[in-house]
Structure formats: structure tokens, C-alpha cells
Amino acid sequence: MMRNMDRREFLRLCGATGTAISLSEALKPEIAAAFAGPKGGKPPVLWLQGGSCSGCSIGLLNSVSPEIADVLTGVISLNFHQTLMSAAGEQAMHVLTDVQKKYRGEYVLIVEGSIPLAAEGKYATLGEKGDQPIPFSKWVKDLAADAKAIIAVGSCAAFGGLPAAAPNPTGSVPVSKVVGGKAVINIPGCPSHPDWVLGTVVHLLKFGMPALDKHGRPKLFFGRCVHDLCGRRKAFDKGEFATRLSEKGCLYKLGCRGPMAFADCPERRFNNGTSWCVAANSPCIACVEPEFPDKTGPFFERMPEYGPGGTFVPEPKPAKLTGGNK
């Protein structure tokens, strides 16, 4: 008989899970219990893709432990995913409406990618009605209304990301801007980590809404500063800075945005715990932050200096001119 894990134990396990064992592997018993969906079946999931590169889907497909095939066939019922499903055309569109009617209030809506609103939403469409393309934004809004939960996967869905970067000609916005005020769980990252997605869904189904920070991110995965978790933090404290990407030492002077980023990348790592940006000698670009990319770049220029206690000392602003023409 499976032991029932309480929320405190779950949070402790997620926090301790790092390179030694993947979260998905450690949670196998809990996953089995949490994903006992409506009427004992597997919970239906609708995964929509809007303005994105599909990188978050690719990251999920590269999940090794457990194999993604096991997740898709034995853990959840992934009823809709434009890239992975075999159905096409009207048959695929009927899946969305059928799940919405049959599992109202029980399905999980996952959105990957930003939502273009310019030109009446014609920059991203999904299916047709009366020979007219249906804006992607309409699908998100309609399906969100009856969803058990809404999860924005990746920085594009969570905060707008690269598609919403200035000058943003497509008028791209994050999911939260089109769902009528409903709560959205943001799982940013470019791409997001599979553990972040899976762990959030397990918490949602087993314990309810996870604790979120001010940006709607689960504190479980986004509650600590990358700079504090980084293996090169000691080099920073000693003043040992790399001046070229190939050198050892802290990458702060080469533009590392770790001090402004909150995620557990240094501990969890990507590709089944193999590596992450700084371990590959690339500065963190703070892709999990709402300011990405407009206010986190240029990526290879240093940030403002630190003051006592690790606090930021903002760069001085030019003095305002007095007098003259108004």
C-alpha cells in the first residue's frame, strides 16, 4: 500500500531533488496517486501552442526519467497538442470542444507561447469556422473559462517573452492578459524545465494551488536567487571574475544576470541533471524573469555594481536640467 505523502514532505522532496535524481523519478508513487483523474481516469490535459519556438515542448520530449512516452500514455491524458497529436483538421478541433463539454471544470489547460492580439489576432490562428480562421486568443479565452487550472509554460506564455519584445509588431501578450482575471500559474524559462512543469501539476492535483510569488511562479521552483545557488558564487565573493567566456571564475563582468534571476537551475540542471547555462560557460540571461528580454539585455554587458551585503547600487541617473525651454 502506498504511503500518503503530505504537502510538507512533498515540498521537502522537491527542494532536495537535484542532480542525483530527477524530480519525476522521485515522485513516481505520488504521480500515480495525483494523476488519478476524473472518475478514476487520467486527468485530461489540453496543451495549446501559440507564439513560440516549441522549445518547451521539445524540452519535455527530451525528459529521460521517466520517459516521456510513459508520461503521455500512462500518467496523463494529453488530449490535444498540435505537434504531438495524430488528428488533424476538423477532427483535431472537435477534440477541444468535446473535452471542454465532457470535462468542464476538470481539465488542465496548458498554454505554450505568447498570444498575438494585433490584426485581430490573425498572427496566430487555430482551426477555422465558416472558412474563417479562429484567433488563437479566442481558444485560450474560451477554454480557460471552464478549466480546472491554467498553466502558462515558458517565458513567452508567462510574460510575453521574445515574441513580445520591442517593438512587438504582433501585439503579443502573456496568457494572464486574455483569461479574464482567472488565476494563472506561470512556469517561465526559455525553455522551462520538465521538472517544473511536472512538479507543479502534481502539486496542483494532489494539494491544490501551489504557493506563488508576485509574478505567479511556484515558489517551490522559483523562490531562490540563481546567484545564491550558483557554484561560482565563491568566485564572486573572492573577486575572481572571468574576462572571457572560456575562463574560470564568476561571469558577472561578462553580463551574468544570475543576481536578478530566481530559479533553481544551478541545482536542478537540464538534460537529466547534466548541465545549465553557467556550467556551460555562458552567463545567465535571466530568462525566467518578466523583464526578459528587453530589460535583461544586452546579455553580455555587466550589470550595475554591488554594494555592501550583496545589494544593488543602481547606476546614477543623469541630473535633470533646470531652466531653459519647457
Catalytic site positions: 53, 56, 156, 190, 227, 230, 250, 256, 265, 277, 284, 287
Residues 6+ apart with CB under 8 A from 49: 57, 81, 82, 83, 112, 113
Residues 6+ apart with CB under 8 A from 125: 133, 134, 135, 136
Q: How many Å apart are CA 209 and CA 284, to the nearest integer?
A: 29
Q: How many Å apart are CA 25 and CA 90, to the nearest integer?
A: 37
- Biggest CA–CA distance in the chain, Å, is 81
Nearest to 162, CA basis, from 296, 278, 304, 61: 296
Q: How many Å apart are CA 142 and CA 136, to the nearest integer?
A: 10
**What beta strand segments (E) does 183-251 contain?**
185-187
Q: Which residues pair with 111 in a beta bridge?
A: 48, 152
Q: How many Å apart are CA 153 and CA 47, to the nearest integer?
A: 10
Nearest to 289, CA basis, from 217, 212, 194, 197: 217
Helix (H, G, I), strand (E, B) or coil at 114: strand
Q: How far is CA 233 from the centre of its chain?
A: 25
Q: Which residues pair with 77 in a beta bridge?
A: 44
Nearest to 163, CA basis, from 178, 174, 151, 179: 174
| Burial label, 45 (beta-carbon count in 10 A; 0-12, 13-18, 19+) | buried
Helix (H, G, I), strand (E, B) or coil at 57: helix
Question: What does residue 54 show for φ and ψ, rounded to 5 degrees?
Answer: 70, 15
